[in-house]
Chains A and B, each alone.
Chain A
Amino acid sequence: MIDMEVADLSRWQFALTAMYHFLFVPLTLGLAFMLAIMESVYVMTGRQVWKDMTKFWGALFGINFALGVSTGITMEFQFGMNWSYYSHYVGDVFGAPLAIEGLMAFFLEATLVGLFFFGWDRMSKQAHLAVTWFMALGTNLSALWILIANGWMQNPVGSQFNPETMRMEVTDFMAVLFNPVAQAKFVHTVAAGYVTGALFVLAISAWFLLQRRHRGFAKRSMTVAAAFGLMGSLSVVVLGDESGYALTHNQRMKLAALEAMWETHEAPAPLTLVGFPDVENQTTHFAVDVPWVLGLIATRSLDSEVEGILPLVAIAETRVENGILAYDALQRLRADETDTEARAQFEETKFDLGYALLLTRYIADPREATPDQIRQAAFDTIPDVPVMFWSFRFMAGIGFYMILLFGTAFVLCTLRRHETRWFLWVALISLPLPWVAAELGWLLAEYGRQPWIIEGMLPTFMGVSSLNATQIWMTIAGFTALYGALAVIEVMLMLHFIRKGPYAGKGGDAARRPTHKPAASDGGMAPVPAE
Chain B
Amino acid sequence: MEIPISYETLRVLWWGLLGVLLIGFAATDGFDFGVAGLLPFVAKTDAERRVAINTVGPTWEGNQVWFILGGGAIFAAWPMVYAVSFSGLYLAMFVLLAALILRPVGFKYRSKREDKRWRAMWDWALFTGGFVPALLFGVAVGNVLVGVPFRLDENLRAFWEGSFFDLLNPFAILCGLLSVTMMGLHGAAWLSMKAEYGPVRDRARTLAPVFAIASIVLFAGGGLAMAYGPYGFAQVGEVDPAGPSNPLRTETVAAAGAWLANYASHPWMILAPVLGFGGAFAALIGLRLNSESITFIGSKLSTFGIISTAGLSMFPFILPSSLDPNSSLTVWNSSSSQLTLFIMLIVTAIFLPIILAYTAWAFKVMWGRVTTEDVTSGGDYY
- Our verdict on whether A and B bind, yes or no, reads yes
A338 at the interface (CB under 8 A from B): no
Q: Which of A80, A82, A166, A471 has the most CB of B within 10 A?
A: A80
Q: Mark A53-82, 1 if CB is under 8 A from B, else 0.
A: 000000000110111011111101101111
A168-202 interface (Cβ within 8 A of B):
169-171, 173
Q: Are A111 and B93 in contact (CB under 8 A)?
A: no
Give Cα A108–Cα B109 distance, bound, in whole angstroms.
22
Give Cα A80–Cα B93 distance, bound, in whole angstroms.
10
B84-112 interface (Cβ within 8 A of A):
84-87, 90-91, 93-94, 97-98, 100-105, 107-109, 112
Chain B residue numbers with a CB within 8 Å of A165 are: 156, 244-246, 337
Q: Are A122 and B358 in contact (CB under 8 A)?
A: no
Q: Are A493 and B339 in contact (CB under 8 A)?
A: no
Nearest CB of B to A39, in Å: 14
Q: Give the secondary structure class of B's interface.
A: helix
Give Cα A115–Cα B361 distance, bound, in whole angstroms.
10
Nearest CB of B to A337, in Å: 10
Chain B residue numbers with a CB within 8 Å of A315 are: none
Nearest CB of B to A526, in Å: 14
Q: Mark A465-479, 1 if CB is under 8 A from B, else 0.
A: 111000100110010
Q: Are B80 and A63 in contact (CB under 8 A)?
A: no
Give Cα A356–Cα B90 distance, bound, in whole angstroms.
30
Give Cα A507–Cα B379 distance, bound, in whole angstroms.
14
Give the tally of cross-chain contacts (CB within 8 A): 242
Q: Return the chain A residue nearest B348 by Cβ.
A: A103
Assuming the contacts A87-B82, A91-B82, A110-B62, asked whether A103 and B160 have C-beta atoms less than 8 A apart, the reply is no
Q: Are B155 and A166 in contact (CB under 8 A)?
A: yes
Q: Are A471 and B91 in contact (CB under 8 A)?
A: yes
Q: Return the chain A residue nearest B158 by Cβ.
A: A84
Q: Are A91 and B339 in contact (CB under 8 A)?
A: no
Give Cα A496–Cα B109 distance, bound, in whole angstroms.
12
Chain B residue numbers with a CB within 8 Å of A279 are: none
Assuming the contacts A71-B101, A73-B101, asked whether A122 and B365 have C-beta atoms less than 8 A apart, the reply is yes
Q: Are A84 and B58 in contact (CB under 8 A)?
A: no
A288 at the interface (CB under 8 A from B): no
Nearest CB of B to A88, in Å: 4
Chain B residue numbers with a CB within 8 Å of A96 are: 76, 336, 340, 343-344
B65 at the interface (CB under 8 A from A): yes
Chain A residue numbers with a CB within 8 Å of B76 are: 91, 95-96, 98-99
B380 at the interface (CB under 8 A from A): yes
Q: Are B344 and A466 in contact (CB under 8 A)?
A: no
Q: Mark B239-268, 1 if CB is under 8 A from A, else 0.
A: 000001110000000000000000000000
Give Cα A489–Cα B157 distance, bound, in whole angstroms.
40
Give Cα A90–Cα B351 distance, bound, in whole angstroms.
24
Q: Are A85 and B90 in contact (CB under 8 A)?
A: no
Which residue in B69, B87, B337 is a CB contact (below 8 Å) of A467? B87
Give Cα A107–Cα B25 distance, bound, in whole angstroms.
12
Assuming the contacts A92-B79, A98-B72, A474-B91, asked whether A114 and B366 have C-beta atoms less than 8 A apart, the reply is yes
Nearest CB of B to A334, in Å: 8
Chain A residue numbers with a CB within 8 Å of B347 are: 99-100, 103-104
Give the total of A residues in contact with B, Cβ under 8 Å: 75
Chain A residue numbers with a CB within 8 Å of B362 are: 111-112, 114-115
Q: Are A110 and B64 in contact (CB under 8 A)?
A: yes
B378 at the interface (CB under 8 A from A): yes
A530 at the interface (CB under 8 A from B): no
Give Cα A104–Cα B91 distance, bound, in whole angstroms.
31
Q: Give the secondary structure class of A's interface.
A: helix
B338-373 interface (Cβ within 8 A of A):
339-340, 343-344, 347-348, 351-352, 355, 358-359, 362, 365-366
Chain B residue numbers with a CB within 8 Å of A351 are: none
Nearest CB of A to B156, in Å: 5
A426 at the interface (CB under 8 A from B): no
Q: Which of A63, A117, A121 has the most CB of B within 10 A?
A: A117
Assuming the contacts A88-B80, A96-B76, A166-B156, asked whether A106 and B68 have C-beta atoms less than 8 A apart, the reply is yes
Give Cα A114–Cα B104 distance, bound, in whole angstroms.
12
Q: Return the chain A residue nearest B248 by Cβ.
A: A166
Assuming the contacts A95-B336, A466-B87, A467-B87, asked whether A63 and B112 have C-beta atoms less than 8 A apart, the reply is yes
Chain B residue numbers with a CB within 8 Å of A170 are: 337, 339-340, 343
A118 at the interface (CB under 8 A from B): yes
Chain A residue numbers with a CB within 8 Å of B83 are: 80, 84-85, 87-88, 91, 465
Q: Are B348 and A87 in contact (CB under 8 A)?
A: no
Q: Are B113 and A496 in contact (CB under 8 A)?
A: yes
Q: Which 4 A-B pairs have the closest CB atoms?
A: A91-B79, A80-B86, A95-B76, A111-B62
Question: Other CB < 8 Å A-B pairs besides A81-B87, A102-B68, A173-B343, 16 of them?
Answer: A63-B108, A73-B68, A84-B84, A95-B77, A99-B347, A107-B65, A111-B65, A111-B355, A114-B62, A118-B380, A118-B381, A166-B155, A467-B87, A482-B101, A496-B113, A505-B378
Which residues of B are interface residues toward A (Cβ below 8 A)? Answer: 57-62, 64-65, 68-69, 71-73, 75-77, 79-80, 82-87, 90-91, 93-94, 97-98, 100-105, 107-109, 112-113, 154-160, 244-246, 336-337, 339-340, 343-344, 347-348, 351-352, 355, 358-359, 362, 365-366, 378-381
